[in-house]
Amino acid sequence: MKINPNIQKLIPEITSWRHQIHAWPETAFEEKRTSEFVAEKLTSFGLKVHTGLAKTGVIGTLQKGSPDKPAVGLRADMDGLDILEENDLPYRSENPGKMHACGHDGHTAMLLGAAKHLSQCDEFNGTVHFIFQPAEENEGGAGVMVREGLFEKFPVQAVFGLHNFPMLPLGYFAIAPGPMMAAFDIFDIHIKGRGGHAAMPQQARDPILAASYLISQFQSIVSRNLEPIEGSVISVTQINGGTAYNIIPDDVCLKGTTRHFQSHIQDAIEARMREIVDGVSKSMDVTVDFSYERRYPAVINNLDKTQAAINAAKLTAGDEKVISNLPPIMGSEDFAFLLQKVPGAYMGLGAGVPEDGGMLHQSRYNFNDALLPVGVTYWESLVKSLLPVND
């Protein structure tokens, strides 16, 4: 892998940015310090800076050559997670109970590095909007930015995202043309029965038994109601109810998530869940309140932009380190909201499985700094190929 010497010179500084951001993790729409840091750096690079979109979002605009040439958007996420960090690092989290456990500190640092490097060269012709997004984790900050006029204020012909993947070897790139990451929905269920003594269940209306029927019947949706080749998942992830060995409780609460790639599958899952809830409610003589919320759409990569991302990755790492047919992933990403509005592509960058086992969303995760020059080089290659000086 050949790294531009001008990028290599920036790596110590970019690394220090990453460590600073890691030390002050901020969660959804509270990324004030991070946002101010990003805006200050972009301003110092000579970019035009816009703040306040989706509360803490930052957009830096860099234009070189002709102003009537195309524009592209490059996105990094800035938020952390509600996790207590267990790493023994000189730059470990200073905010107890919060940490950068998904690498957004690295994503932000890489895009800042690309902004500084590209601001110092004249090897592209067009406009780049560097999009620093809040609230990727669970709260859909990308969707808020879109609704608040991101692409009306900063029109682009394409938008690109990059995320570290610890499950891939270090320095490898991976992407899927078309569907890459699943849509993400959540559900909440409150079952209201009638409690009683566990030794006399005939006098109660058991919400725990009703909950068990719901859970087992939900699993039949994927296995018996949907096409076997259609990827989907229904997972009940929380069960709360009961206080003692010998008491049937009055109520039980269930929570969970569904994942899918196509809207007709999403519709079918929600409709069938509602039918099952209604049937169990009647057959078990309990009251069931069911709510279903559609959170993130599926990440669907545009085929042409996927090829552009693949080409940039090959320029960065070589053909043998680019996986261009990654199987779709059931995890989710709110970059999907950007792709609903503008054609683009979302790329994974291999971070290598860490020795201590710290993976994404775990308390011992730490972004691999070896990725910093790789990510900056990828952004450079992408911009130069999409906005060539001789076009």
For residue 182, the Cα-to-chain-centroid distance in whole angstroms is: 11
* Residue 160 and residue 345 in contact, taking contact as beta carbons nearer than 8 Å: yes
- Do 207 and 250 meet the contact criterion of CB atoms below 8 Å apart? yes
One-character DSSP codes across 312-342: HHHHHH-GGGEES-PPPBSS--THHHHHHHS
Using the Cα atoms of residue 240, residue 243, residue 245 and residue 246 in order, give the sign of their dihedral.
negative
Ranges of H-type helices in 190-238? 207-220
Catalytic residue status for 136: yes
CB-based contact 233:246 (threshold 8 Å): no
Residue among 223, 244, 245 nearest 234 (CA): 223
Q: Which of 26, 79, 206, 334 is catalytic?
A: 79
Report the alpha-carbon distance of residue 43 to residue 266 in Å, rounded. Answer: 43
From 77, 136, 137, 380, active-site residue: 136
Instruction: Write the single-letter amino acid at 259.
Output: R
251 is catalytic: no
Backbone angles phi, psi at 368, to 5 degrees: -85, 110
Amino acid at the residue 45: F
Q: Which residues are catalytic?
A: 79, 136
